Each structure stands twice: as C-alpha cells, then as structure tokens.
Amino acid sequence: MTTMAPDAGAQDTTAHEAVFDAAVAAEERIEPRDWMPDAYRATLVRQIAQHAHSEIIGMQPEANWITRAPSLRRKAILMAKVQDEAGHGLYLYSAAETLGTGRDELLDKLHSGRQKYSSIFNYPTLTWADVGAIGWLVDGAAITNQVPLCRCSYGPYARAMVRICKEESFHQRQGYELLLALSRGTEAQHAMAQDAVDRWWWPSLMMFGPPDAESSHSAQSMAWKIKRHSNDELRQRFVDICVPQAASLGLTLPDPDLRWNEERGHHDFGAIDWTEFQDVLRGNGPCNDQRIGQRRRAHEEGAWVREAAAAYAAKHGKATA
C-alpha cells in the first residue's frame, strides 16, 4: 500500500481510514510510510516491543546453562541459540522503530516495567533438561503463535517473523532432540527430562494468553489482521501437536484430563490455573525480579561503554561498527 503519505493533509481521516481498511481487507501489507490509525500503530508498537523484550529476557533462562552444558556439542548449540535470540531482539526492535519509537525508549519502558515480556521467562531453569523443555515446548508454542504472524498486515513485522520462524523451528527441533537423548539415556537422565516437561507444560500453554472470552485486544487485532487466530484456537493446535510428540519422546504430559475427543477431532485437556498466570503477569512469578534486575544491571553497568562509543564516534566521525 503506497497510495498516501502520512502528511497528505488534504484528505480527512475518514478517507485515510477507508483506504487503510481496503488495503487490510485485500491482504495488502501496510508499510511504515503509509497512513495507519493511531490505535493500530500503538497496538503494533506494544506487541512488537513486547516480542523484542521477550527475546532479550528469554536469553537469561537458557544462558543460565551455557557454562554448565554437559558436552561441547550441546554447549555450541546452546550458545548459538542464545546468540540467535539477541539477533531476533535486534530485528524486532528495528521493526518497532519503523513505527516511530526508538530502541532506547523501548528498553527504558522494559526496564521500568511499563512494557512487559512473555510470562514464560519468569520460570527458572533448574536442570539441564529445562534447556530441552524450553526448546521443545516454549519455542514450540512461540512458533505456533508466530507462524500466522508471518502474514500479519504490517509488513516489517511480517518480514521479521519469516526470518525468526526459520531459526526458531531449528531451535525447537534441537530442543526435542536434546530431550530425546535424555529420555533414552540413563534412568537419572530420563527422570530429569520428565521432571522438566512436568514443570514447563502448563506455563507453555499459558503462552497463548487468556481464554478468548477474556482477551481484551483480540477482536481488534483480528480485524486489523495483526492476529489471525484466537488464543484458544492456537492453544488447541499446540496441544494437538504436542501429544504425539510426547509419546514418541517416551515422556508423559502432566494432565490427567488430557484425552482424544473423537467428536471434536481434538484433544481435550485440563483447566489452566489462570490465577498463577495473572500472578506471574503482575510480577509475582518465581523469577520476575531476578530477570528484570539482571537486565537493568547489564544496561546500567554497560552505560560507560555506550558513552565511550558515542564519545569516540563524535571525535572520529561515524562509528565503524
């Protein structure tokens, strides 16, 4: 959609809106210089920033195991993954910046708690198997959420998601393969894998957000084609994907109510503890303080480095890197 610049002042908002709505309806991509409703812009900034923050905070639970990875091969895989996450954060901040909000401002909002990140990263990684469970379940849930975003109406976000989803799928397979090695390993390794899946299963289901009936932004996001499927639809899709995968891993999912429903053609599953979800969102999860604390500390302790780079660039012209 390239018909109108934001300052094409002669036309009123209604006319702009009609063009915008038509473009969205025709599955055209909205680009940074196109007119868009303020609320569309604000929703995207919020969603893309939170997505970027999640990549950055999400480095912590996994980086927690880099120095303890049990083989050099696994260590290399994990380092590469954490590096990719930093890269995803960079793509996403760039995508958010096309909407007129700078990375510094977004980071500031993360550090001051005015913008959120995915609640899943407030859970601790207590054993090596958690690295596998994160890859399989958390990345799996993220992919289920994100693949439809590759068709999101906002071009820069959709294009970032195409690149990110490719790498995420790779991580997810690696996580699955890590758990498979543990599941088929010694008794202690198998128990470690099962314990990790037991702890990460429900938090992964919460990643899809509140039930449709309570999801405040959903209807508008779907109308704008930012979102393509409801939270509950995606959650159901994820459960249906995971059940056979768990079976082939030789691991069980911690839900006594989980069973195939012939009539629906889907798995029924137990009730999610939404009180826990709300608690974690409000900052009372196991690691909220730790995660944001480390993030702030890294930023504050790095201030002199960023100042040095800026001072050097001012003296010597544009920085070389």
Partner 1 sequence: MTTAALALGDDALVLSHRLGEWAGHAPVLEEEVALANIALDLLGQARTLLSLAGDEDELAYLREERSFRNAQLVEQPNGDFARTIARQLYFSVHQHLLYGQLAAGDGPFAPLAGKAVKEVAYHRDHAEQWTLRLGDGTEESHARMQRALDALWRYTGELFEPVEGLSVDRAALREGWLAAVTEVVERATLKLPDGPQSGAWTAGAGRQGIHTEPFGRMLAEMQHLHRSHPGASW
Q: Which residues bind partner 1 (CB under 8 A)?
A: 56, 59-60, 63, 66-76, 79-80, 82-83, 86-87, 89-90, 93, 128, 178, 181-182, 185-186, 188-189, 294, 297-299, 301-312, 315-316, 319-321
How far apart are CB 181 and partner 1 at their closest, in Å?
Answer: 6
How far apart are CB 150 and partner 1 at their closest, in Å?
Answer: 23
Instruction: State the Rg of the chain over Cα.
Output: 21
How far apart are CB 164 and partner 1 at their closest, in Å?
Answer: 14
Q: On the CB side of 158, how many CA atoms lie within 13 Å of its CA?
A: 17
- What phi and psi values does residue 261 have, to the nearest 5 degrees? -115, 105
304 exposed, middle or buried (CB, 10 Å; 0-12, 13-18, 19+)? exposed
Can you name the residues that pair with 154 across neighbouring β-strands?
30
Which tokens is 111 given?
Answer: 């550090």
How far apart are CB 147 and partner 1 at their closest, in Å?
Answer: 24
Nearer to partner 1, 271 or 303 (CB): 303
Nearer to partner 1, 88 or 267 (CB): 88
Nearer to partner 1, 2 or 320 (CB): 320
Residues ≥6 apart with Cβ < 8 Å to 110: 49, 53, 56, 57, 117, 292, 295
H/E element, 261? strand 259-261
Nearer to partner 1, 209 or 285 (CB): 285
Nearer to partner 1, 18 or 298 (CB): 298
How far apart are CB 70 and partner 1 at their closest, in Å?
Answer: 5
How far apart are CB 177 and partner 1 at their closest, in Å?
Answer: 11
Contact 99, 160 (CB under 8 A): no
Which tokens is 248 given?
Answer: 């082939």
How far apart are CB 129 and partner 1 at their closest, in Å?
Answer: 11
H/E element, 267? strand 266-268
Q: DSSP secondary structure string, 224-260? A: TTS--S-HHHHHHHHHHHHHHHHHHHT---S-TT-EE
Nearer to partner 1, 25 or 311 (CB): 311
Dist CA 64 CA 86 (whole Å): 15
Nearer to partner 1, 32 or 87 (CB): 87
